[in-house]
Amino acid sequence: MAAQNLLLCLTKEQTDFTEENFFGCLLKLRRENVLEKYVIRGGRRLSGEIEVSGAKNAAVALIPAVLLCDEPCVLENVPDISDVSISLRIMYEMGAKVEYLDKTTVRISAEGLKNFCVPYESARRMRASYYFLGALLGRFSKARVSMPGGCPLGDRPIDQHLKAFSALGAKCNIEYGMVDLYAEHLRGSQIYLDVVSVGATMNAMLAAVRADGLTVIENAAKEPHIVDLANFLNSMGADIMGAGTDVIKIRGVKNLHGTTYSVVPDQIEAGTFMVAAAATGGDVLIKNVIPKHLEPITSKLRKIGVNVDEYDDSVRVWVDGPLVRTNIKTMPHPGFPTDMQPQMATLLTLAEGTSIVTEGVWEQRFRYVDELRRMGADISVDGKVAVIEGTGKLTGAPVKACDLRAGAALIIAGLAAKGITEIEDIYHIERGYGNLVEKLRKVGADIQKVTSPVATMREAVSG
């Protein structure tokens, strides 16, 4: 296989592309089979500056959205995370050209692409592969994609996605793990979502953008990544209004054109660093953020006794007193984000008093609690409600990340804990946090990534 054709596999290492690192990339995608872990010596106060990357949940929709046009698109501020690698790999496997222009800029061209099937093995590795359904349907009026994978957060149906596709005129069929969509003719339509769903809203937008006539999505999700997808599509020539409100209007256009677009900063990565700063009693300037997107997190942190100073595109988080209890209920945007719930619950184990955390989006988002208990947390869970007795301290332990944000919570716990924490199953974390070890070390964290068969916990931290 010619080296040029391999490019594509898609990590930023591609700038120094060789056949060897192609296989390195493939290995990276198979991390589940490699025993890697993070080893953290806790108790260090974080201080300094940290840079936030582009948003995972925007990037994984923008990449398939490129399929909607026949010209190259350049995406900037692309995060270096495995969900992005997988999305780009799917594009490559389908026949698109993918090229890293620098560490965070990717040029993707779906020119002349004819393929409407997504390779099964890649698609089932992540939740966001469902965006290929909407994008392929929008381009070819047909799509064949496996049922998506993703974090185990309880029941994750896609009925609302299918409802939206049907409303636009598509027939949907699920057989042998594959979703098949086919439409004679995509027509704009009224789509009422029974539940507020980020994925279904974005998929409806992708499928409707080139359909004939007007589509109105009601009860739409309002997250910053919804607005980012609308802005991206509009920069390609789409006609979308109302993104960020609960009614989105899309007037179908015949064709879209290439564009250059910068992915919105990741508000969950930013929030994770904010909580890490607070949990270690630190003082950190978090850069490349949109403070408005962080408001639900900022306001809870202030309630807990953490100082947050907002600037144009950065926030400073610092602590000069004790942390105090609060209650949190997660909700769709602009409510408190479910993707920050495990991190914030971890912080509350360090606060004085009893806090109540209610999960309002996912059925099973307290699976990390058992791991936090190993570190001395006093948390009881009943269904969607967790009661946290703040003990003011955590101690290091060997733990496992059971999903992406659970992993982020364990990192925060490890940074704040006395002693050494060893976190396994970090491939979950690397799905959504790029260069995490480097970023945290820059602000003073003692964290290392080690391959467990060759390094014991103590060797790693003393090394």
Residue numbers annotated as active site: 151
Supply the minimum distance, in Å, between the C-beta of residue 176 and ligand EPU: 20
Q: Is 432 in the site for ligand EPU (CB under 6 A)?
A: yes
**Total count of residues recorded for the chain:** 463
Q: Is 361 in the site for ligand EPU (CB under 6 A)?
A: yes
Rounded Cα distance between 44 and 262, Å, is 34
What are the phi and psi torsion angles at 290 (to 5°)? -110, 100
Q: Which residues of 126-163 are buried (b: 16+ CB within 10 A; e: fewer)?
A: bbbbbbbbbbbbbbbbebbbbbbbbbebeebebebbbb
Rounded Cα–Cα distance for residues 242 and 124 (Å): 32
Query: Nearer Cβ to ligand EPU, position 32 or 155?
Result: 155
What is d(CA 209, CA 254) in angstroms, rounded to the nearest whole number?
9
155 near ligand EPU (CB under 6 A) = yes
Query: How many C-beta atoms lie closer than 10 Å to residue 424's C-beta?
Result: 18
For residue 60, state whether it binds ligand EPU (rule: CB under 6 A): yes
**By CB under 6 A, which span of 136-144, 159-167, 212-220, 251-259 interacts with ligand EPU?**
159-167
Q: Which of 87, 141, 231, 338 binds ligand EPU (CB under 6 A)?
A: 338
Min dist. Cβ of residue 278 to ligand EPU (A): 20
- Count of positions on this chain that bind ligand EPU (CB under 6 A): 25
The correct pick among 118, 158, 250, 285 for binding ligand EPU (CB under 6 A) is 158
Binder among 65, 96, 98, 198 for ligand EPU (CB under 6 A): 198
Q: Is 359 exposed, middle or buried (0-12, 13-18, 19+ CB in 10 A)?
A: buried
Residue from 127, 139, 293, 439 binding ligand EPU (CB under 6 A):
127
195 binds ligand EPU (CB under 6 A): yes
Phi/psi at 257 (nearest 5 deg)?
-120, 170
Q: In the range 391-410, which residues lie near ligand EPU by CB under 6 A? A: 404-405
Residue 384 engages ligand EPU in binding (rule: CB under 6 A) = no
Residue pair 252/213 in contact by the 8 Å Cβ criterion? yes
Is position 218 an interface residue for ligand EPU (rule: CB under 6 A)? no
CA 252/CA 205 separation, integer angstroms: 10
Q: How many Cβ atoms sit within 10 Å of the Cβ of residue 206?
A: 28
Tokens, residue 173: 């069929």
Residues that bind ligand EPU (CB under 6 A): 57, 60, 127-128, 151, 155-161, 195, 197-200, 221, 338-339, 361-362, 404-405, 432
